[in-house]
Copies of this chain bind each other. A is one copy, B any other.
Amino acid sequence: MRHDHIISAKQLSRGDIEEVLDHAAEIAADPEAYTDRHAGTLLGLLFFEPSTRTKMSFSAAIKRLGGDIVDMGPVEYSSVKKGESLADTVRVVEGYADALVMRHPSEGSAQMAAEFVDVPLLNGGDGAGQHPTQTLLDLYTIRENAGLDDLTIGIMGDLKYGRTVHSLSHALTNFDAHQHFISPESLQLPRSVRYDLHEEGATIREHTDLEEILPSLDVLYVTRIQQERFPDENEYREVAGEYQIDAATLEAASDDLTVMHPLPRVDEIDHDIDDTDHATFFEQAHNGVPVRMALLDLLLEGQR
């Protein structure tokens, strides 16, 4: 894989994706073989926004490779508060680390920052923009549980604002995937995303009702519908309730259905599913470690 930076899932070819997922599978199968692989390597963490799982799993990933982190800490305690520009901050911090992970509230900030640094920069989420390592761990989880070819996937919830969903849908166009989108009308895919998927030759269908499509799904990817998207709380409750699932809902599903969620969830997946074979969302979160290990390893090796 020859990339200087990882900014967007869109920059990754099918070959790139398969290289990362294959390598993640190798690592997951024999993690002991990688414990000293990047001894002495420092990963700089620049989280300008809160994060639990992205930050912790990047930390775990570099440490499982024998390296370590150098953490800027919460932005309230950094010189960003003194008015420093993002470009200056990353140019300083690249001197303290061998690679950088950045999360920032502004869309496009990762691309901008990457232009100023010589060390590899990984986008850990840039506002409404991209979050490529989330997409890679989603793809890895789908491949491990249902396969990426001849896949029938339902993607449900907030399809209008969900960057995770847009990025995953786009990445799936590299594979033989039938994509079904399930949402209330007000939260359907934006026209630009729908257009983009058609351009890529994707087979997509849109639904307002899960019931009609559920039995045919290999994977159901659930995202949260946020109350602040609705002007009226009652309307929210009515709509959101239709896109919550529980064990009863899944009686109509295939026994092999894989249920995913980027987490955190609030109430869109009932806890009565947690101990069923369908529940794959914790495994999905845990897959963040081998996938990020694989990506870091390939990126750092590519620099040598």
Q: Which residue, of A52, A64, A72, A79, has the highest number of chain B Cβ atoms within 10 A?
A: A52
User: How many copies of this chain does the complex contain?
Assistant: 3
B93 touching A56 by the CB < 8 A rule? yes
Indicate whether A263 reaches chain B with its CB closer than 8 angstroms: yes
**Among the interface residues A55, A76, A79, A96, which one has the most CB atoms of the partner chain B within 10 A?**
A96
Does A71 sit at the interface, judged by CB under 8 A? yes
Known: A55-B73, A56-B72, A63-B68. A50 touches B81 (CB 8 A): yes
Give chain A interface residues in 38-54, CB to chain B under 8 Å: 39-40, 42, 44, 47, 50-53
- A79-B53, A96-B56, A264-B88 given; A74·B72 CB < 8 A: no
Q: Which residue of chain B has its CB nearest to the CB of A87? A: B271
A103: shortest Cβ distance to chain B, in Å? 11
Question: Is A60 on the interface with B (CB-CB < 8 A)?
Answer: yes
A68 and B68 CA atoms in complex are apart in Å by 9
Contacts of A89 in B (CB 8 A): 52, 264
Q: Which of A228-279 contact B (CB under 8 A)?
A: 263-266, 271
Q: Are B42 and A264 in contact (CB under 8 A)?
A: no
Q: Are B92 and A263 in contact (CB under 8 A)?
A: yes
A70 sits at the interface (CB 8 A):
yes
CA distance A264 to B68 in the complex (A): 26
Q: Which residues of A91-149 have CB atoms within 8 Å of chain B's CB atoms?
A: 91-93, 95-97
Could you tell me the distance between the alpha carbons of A73 and B56 in the complex, rounded to whole angstroms? Answer: 9
**Contact indicator B78/A50 (Cβ below 8 Å):** yes
- Does A1 lie at the interface of the complex (its beta carbon under 8 Å from any beta carbon of B)? no
Chain B proximity of A1: nearest CB distance (Å): 24
Is there an interface contact between B77 and A51, defined as CB atoms closer than 8 Å? Answer: yes
Q: Is A289 an interface residue (CB 8 A)?
A: yes
Q: Is the interface of A mostly helix, strand, loop or mixed?
A: helix
* In the complex, A35 has a CB within 8 A of chain B: yes
A82 partner residues in chain B, CB cutoff 8 A: 264, 266
CB of A59 within 8 A of chain B? yes
The one of B39, B64, B83, B282 in contact with A91, judged by C-beta atoms closer than 8 angstroms, is B282
Instruction: Decide: A83 and B52 in contact? CB cutoff 8 A.
Output: no
Say if the beta carbon of A10 comes within 8 Å of chain B.
no
Taking CB atoms and an 8 Å cut-off, the chain A residues in 273-304 that contact chain B are 282, 285-286, 288-289
| Cβ contact of A70, chosen from B40, B63, B81, cutoff 8 A | B63
A57 lies within 8 A of chain B by Cβ: yes
Interface residues of A (CB under 8 A from B): 35, 39-40, 42, 44, 47, 50-53, 55-57, 59-60, 63-64, 68, 70-74, 76-84, 87-89, 91-93, 95-97, 263-266, 271, 282, 285-286, 288-289
